Amino acid sequence: MDDELVLVTGGTGFVGISCIIRLLGDGVRVRTTVRDLARADEVRDLVRSSGADPSGVEVVAADLLHDAGWTEAVAGATHVLHVASPFPTRQPKDEDELIVPARDGALRVLRAAHDAGVRRVVQTSSFAAIGYGRPNPGRRYTEEDWTDPDGPGVTPYAKSKTLAERAAWDFIAREGGSLELATINPVGIFGPALGADLSSSLELLRQLLNGAFPVVPNGSVGAVDVRDVADLHVRAMRHPDAAGERFLAVSGDAITYLELARLLRAGLGERARHVPTRVIPDWVVRAGAPFSRDLRLMSQELGRRGDASHEKATLLLGWVPRDRDESVLASARSLVDLGLVRD
């Protein structure tokens, strides 16, 4: 691996930093991008907090919205893990706030990788590009499924991930040449937090643990550990048969919000005493939907399940994820350890 240099975009993100740590554990040289070099020390601190040596990480500036910096970022790289993409805690009023950086950013990275002679790009997509806008198939979702970006109930985020992944595959088919592409499609990403800048899934747990909600909705969320997501990226980067493939990253079936609340209560005891254990009636959500954007989005998810299969990743790449519940509890315990859960 002495000649291997991997570019990881979005080095301060939950998945990005986990990929960096995973690669450093393999002795791989890593370069990562941040929008502002003022955050370079943040990357190094996160790597150091995991017990890894940050001296093996080069940090450069590049923004998904601008061409500047990408030629330098990919120079000499053998592989690219394109992880960076916006993930909002609240859906924006203008969907282009998410669609443009996700789609155009993916194309910027792919063009730069193509021009630099990179062997393979592994792009972080999402279950959001698989399981929305169409009737539930009555089975576990697989990589053969695609979200209809114009279908009912599709959020700006799901639309952005779908259009960005479609654009990436179209680019490879049209002008990719020898450049290879694989995509990873995770469900909700959990796992131990390394710092106070939380992913959307961990922010959900923090709010539940701190009693931000008096009730939970009648819905569910898929779960996978961030360490397993990073491992799947590296497997897809290296395995010869991964080129041209999508891989769902999921551990077990989706967990309902009520099951999640009960799991936190059982696993953390007194530290989870603020977690609600009552479900808001569906009629209340529907009644409030015309007056609240959040309730409107929630109403579209009532009773919905997004169970998905990781059979492809397991059979082709040998990927075996951690237990779903243990991953969720590891997330919650890390929030307690970081002092983000009130006494």
Q: Which of 225, 215, 218, 232 is nearest to 187 (CA)?
A: 225
Predicted confidence at residue 35, as pLDDT, reads: 93
Predicted confidence at residue 128, as pLDDT, reads: 95
Measured between alpha carbons, how far is 318 from 88 in angstroms, rounded to an integer?
32
- Is it the case that residue 130 has pLDDT exceeding 60? yes
Arithmetic mean of pLDDT over the chain: 92
Q: How confident is the model at residue 292 (pLDDT cuts 50, 70, 90)?
A: low
Annotation marks residue 93 as catalytic: no
Q: Are 78 and 6 in contact (CB under 8 A)?
A: yes
Helix/strand/coil (H, E, C) string of the chain?
A: CCCCEEEECCCCCHHHHHHHHHHHHCCCEEEEEECCHHHHHHHHHHHHHCCCCHHHEEEEECCCCCCCCHHHHHCCCCEEEECCCCCCCCCCCCCHHHHHHHHHHHHHHHHHHHHHCCCEEEEECCHHHCCCCCCCCCCCECCCCCCCCCCCCCCHHHHHHHHHHHHHHHHHHHHCCCCEEEEEEECCEECCCCCCCCCHHHHHHHHHHCCCCCCECCCEECCEEHHHHHHHHHHHHHCHHHCCCEEEECCCCCEEHHHHHHHHHHHHHHHHCCCCCCECCHHHHHHHHHHCHHHHHHHCCCCCCCCECCHHHHHHHCCCCCCHHHHHHHHHHHHHHCCCCCC
Predicted confidence at residue 300, as pLDDT, reads: 64
Predicted confidence at residue 153, as pLDDT, reads: 80
Instruction: Catalogue all structural domains in the chain, each as residue range(s) with its CATH number.
Output: 5-197+222-251+306-323 (3.40.50.720)
Measured between alpha carbons, how far is 275 from 206 in angstroms, rounded to an integer?
10
> Pick the catalytic residue: 93, 159, 161, 312?
161
Which pLDDT tens digit goes with each residue over 19-33? Answer: 999 999 999 999 999
Compute CA distances 160 → 165, 284, 305, whole Å. Answer: 9, 29, 21
Compute CA distances 118 → 55, 78, 112, 125, 235, whole Å. Answer: 23, 5, 9, 19, 17
Measured between alpha carbons, how far is 235 from 186 in angstroms, rounded to an integer?
14
Measured between alpha carbons, how far is 198 from 14 in angstroms, rounded to an integer?
7
The pTM score is 0.94
- Is it the case that residue 288 has pLDDT exceeding 80? no
Which pLDDT tens digit goes with each residue over 21-72? Answer: 999 999 999 999 999 999 999 999 999 999 999 999 999 999 999 999 999 9
Predicted confidence at residue 3, as pLDDT, reads: 80
Angle at the Cα of 258 from the Cα atoms of 254 and 259, rounded to 5 degrees: 55
Most confident of the following: 86-95, 232-241, 285-294: 232-241
Percent of the chain with pLDDT over 70: 93
- Is it the case that residue 1 has pLDDT exceeding 60? no
Which pLDDT tens digit goes with each residue over 179-207? Answer: 999 999 999 999 999 988 888 899 999 99
Rounded to an integer, the average pLDDT of 65-80 is: 97
CB-CB neighbours of 255 under 10 Å: 21
Predicted confidence at residue 87, as pLDDT, reads: 59
Strands 189-190 and 224-225: parallel
Predicted confidence at residue 10, as pLDDT, reads: 95
